Amino acid sequence: MRLMDALRRLPAPVTAARLAEETGVSRRQLYRDIATLRAGGALIDGEAGVGYRLTEDPALPPQSFSQLEIEALVLAVSDLSQTGDTALEAAGRSALARIIATLADGQSRQAMHTVLRSFRSPPARLEFSVDIALLRRACWEELALNVRYRDLKGQVTDRKIWPLGISYSDRTLMVLVWCCLRQDWRVFHASGIETACLSGDCFRPRRVALLREYVARNACAGLPAANE
């Protein structure tokens, strides 16, 4: 799986040395793995000393996009660097490589030579005490968190929250939550969350309903996001 991912992601042709480094195996083992993938139906062009190119991936169904759709996908993934979230950026590049691997040759070349670019100032390096991966997991799995939060006035309180969503900007990262203490929606600055841990409670299936209520309330009343 690591080898297939590297073949999809890295610019072709990829040398055996680079593939061995990416997958953490010896070069001899790499040659055996390539032979195994070829036996399983993957069309991999190239040879030792030249480099390798994945020309057909049996694990992914063929897809087709218009030229503008391809430009939009590449542009969107490149813009993930503006979030300051390196894990999210890496995930976007990996997903895009898998998509490109399913395209026909002509569309694959278009993806490698897109004309749309996004040039903006690099984002400020955001530093957080909280583990962003934990926040994402809590949102996905609808897991309640116990947090210690410092609000914009400097007051520190212990809260139990239901995390509903995460919003990125060029200056900060915000977390939309249902605050069990206030019994209301709140938007926390991630930088203000000093500690966070799973409470052991699950609020499934409340997340979607709460998000809909929040959007509807703010759309109808024209209210700004509840912030702390």
Mean pLDDT of 5-34: 87
> What's the mean per-residue pLDDT of the chain?
85
Q: Between 96 and 57, name the one with better pLDDT.
A: 96
Is residue 220 very low, low, confident or very high in pLDDT (cuts 50, 70, 90)? low
Check residue 223 and give its pLDDT: 47
pLDDT tens string 167-176: 887 678 899 9
In DSSP notation, the chain reads: -HHHHHHHHSPSSB-HHHHHHHHT--HHHHHHHHHHHHHTT-EEEEETTTEEEEEE-TTS------HHHHHHHHHHHHGGGGG--HHHHHHHHHHHHHHHHTS-HHHHHHHHT-------PPPP----SS-HHHHHHHHHHTEEEEEEEE-TTS-EEEEEEEEEEEEE-SS-EEEEEEETTTTEEEEEEGGGEEEEEEEEEE-TTHHHHHHHHHHHHHHHH-PPPPB-
Residues of the chain with pLDDT > 90, as a percent, come to 34
Q: Would you state the pLDDT for residue 68?
A: 92
Q: What is the mean pLDDT of residues 183-203?
A: 94
Q: Does the pLDDT value for residue 123 go beyond 90?
A: no
pLDDT-wise least confident of 107-116, 135-144, 151-160, 197-206: 107-116
Predicted structure pTM score:
0.66
